Amino acid sequence: MSSKNYSNTKILIVDDDSTFLTLAGAALSKRGFSVISAESGETALDKINADAPDLVLLDIHMPGLTGDELVKSITDWKPEIPVWMVSSDLTPAIKEECLKNGASACLVKPLDFDQLALNIRELLNKP
């Protein structure tokens, strides 16, 4: 296991569910990541511009600027930032659409935060 310090690794979590934002933020902070959160797509775009996250965890179903619209915007504007979509009702059709729109991965809620942290570290350690 790498002893690399990930405290400078910024993860932006975008979800309209404040409970999920709190739980996911605490879980990833506990595992050594710096966490930024946004409850809307519009706020997420502002935070991406201000904070330059290393990864975005994005809920698919949100009011206003939807996850599908936001992933397209992010990948067009900042293609170097991986976007992982999350949903509690991830069907094969939804997953296919997310990947087509530019998502790097699709994850099913509830998330296993130990596995998620491992996957993030693997992504960040790729050459």
Quick: pLDDT tens for 27-79. 999 999 999 999 999 999 999 999 999 999 999 999 999 999 999 999 999 99
Sequence-distant (6+) residues with CB within 8 A of 51 are: 10, 12, 36
Question: In the beta sheet, which residues pair with residue 57?
Answer: 13, 84
Q: What is the pLDDT of residue 6?
A: 77
Domain with 82, as residue range(s), is 10-124
Say how many domains are in the chain: 1
**Is residue 78 domain-resident?**
yes
Query: Which amino acid, residue 24?
Result: A
Which strands form 105-108's sheet, in the order they lie side by side? 34-38, 10-14, 55-59, 83-87, 105-108
Q: Which three-class secondary structure state does DSSP give residue 47?
A: helix
pLDDT tops 90 at residue 126? no
CATH number at residue 17: 3.40.50.2300
